[in-house]
Amino acid sequence: MKPLAIARDSAVAAGAVRAQGAPKPSLSALDGIAMLIGIVVGIGIFRTPQIVALNVSSEWAFVGFWVIGGAITLIGAFVYAELGSAYPHAGGEYHYLRRALGRPVALLFAWARLTVIQTGAIAAVAFVFGDYAHGILPLGPWGPALYAAGAILLFTAINLTSSRQSRTLQLVFTILTLLAVLAIAGFGLALGSAPAEATTGSAGSASGAFGLAMVLILLTYGGWNEVAYLSGEMKDARRNMPRVLVASVAVITGLYFLVNLAYLSVLGLDGLRASDVVAADTLQRLFGPGAALAVALLVCFAALSTMNATIFTGARLYYSLGRELPLLGRIGLWEERSNMPVNAILAQSGIALALVLFGASTRVGFQAMVEYTAPVFWLFLLLVGASFFILRRRESGQAGHFRAPLYPLTPALFCLTCAYLLYASIAYTGYGALVGVGVLLAGAPFIWLGRAGARPA
């Protein structure tokens, strides 16, 4: 080939790479904190306290479990802070698992995240928004599904427009949600006067009650690990990843502690056990029936905050898969103008919309969704913990990034917690857990398709 032709072909190839684009370090620590708090402080804190109250024997145990959940979450945050600081990558957990345990395990995780964890979470949050929005302004028998689908379409469009617009909106939603939850906590603690009550023991065995309570509490804390998918776009990731994780977990733990104290102060433990809508019942006890609208708006804001952040972070895995697998090559494109993985966002939202369409006629309850996702979630968090040990030993010479304190105690506690919660999420929950495991096992063909002709990492 002539030198001129070689130069021309090289220029064309370079132009194609530039057109494809790549993630830019555009996220500040504040952006990361807003995303993380927006994901975590969502619908769970308005629903799980009742189920936790049913599985504890005293108010002290109820509050103590939430503090234990915060401590466990902080331990996990230390582990992820080191991984994200040492290996910043848009693929997040997929990248860690692939680097430590190989492509088959990483591909199985990708299948689980696409079919069980991420798209299911987007659809579930969309339905919560739809239910409450329909209560404010009914749209007929299909109203909740229409609201859910409309919300996914709206936030998909916002995320397609630009990274900056999505981040700014997330900051606004997070501030509004935090202020609203703090208002509930403040009013409840200042004005609450629940009567003293002689509570009875929780139902079931003590170990089973503790296991189910911790599964639900840590699900309510769940989402902090999503920051792993922001590490590839974080400015100075080695310094900011630990800051984002530790600051966010500290704020969330304090917030959950205060709001659960407020629930107890107003409703008491027996009142919590009898309430399906603890935030609504708390405000109605304080301010009368008119508070129902305020609670509905609060839940709508929290759901939209979670949805926007989850769409933002979730699409990063699709993008990473597209970069490696020729079969999914189209979703591995990054648009430079918006600094977003446009095709990945479209693919993710398409699956979420399909789940909304399916769920419009066959929706399951909140606790059933917990049972469906929990075993798969804790299995892969355990594998990420194992990957931490492998990567620390294999690449111990690396320096300049955050190191998890009290090694090896911190990651060991994280792995033991994940192992226990994997066991608890199967032993102390219902048939939904088996369905989730079945969907995970159905991903075996995906591993085979992914291994065939995969590009090198």
Is residue 457 included in any domain, yes or no? no
Is residue 3 included in any domain, yes or no? no
Q: Count how many domains the chain has.
A: 1
Residue 48 tokens read as 């799980």
Is residue 13 included in any domain, yes or no? no
Is residue 393 included in any domain, yes or no? yes
Q: What is the pLDDT along the chain (457 residues), one digit of tens a residue?
A: 444 443 343 333 334 433 456 777 888 999 999 999 988 987 788 878 988 998 888 899 999 999 999 999 999 999 999 999 999 888 899 999 999 999 889 999 988 888 778 887 888 788 888 888 888 888 888 888 899 999 999 999 999 998 888 889 999 999 988 998 999 999 999 987 765 554 555 444 555 677 778 878 988 898 889 889 988 889 988 889 999 999 999 999 999 999 999 999 999 999 999 887 788 889 888 888 878 788 888 888 888 999 999 999 988 888 888 887 777 778 878 888 888 889 989 989 998 888 788 777 655 545 566 677 788 888 999 999 999 999 998 876 566 789 999 999 999 999 999 998 888 888 866 666 777 788 888 887 777 766 655 555 5
Is residue 359 included in any domain, yes or no? yes
Is residue 347 included in any domain, yes or no? yes
Is residue 360 included in any domain, yes or no? yes
Tell me which residue range forms the domain holding 290: 25-451
Kindly report whether the global pTM for this prediction surpasses the value 0.85. Answer: no
Is residue 328 included in any domain, yes or no? yes
> Tell me, what CATH number does 444's domain have?
1.20.1740.10
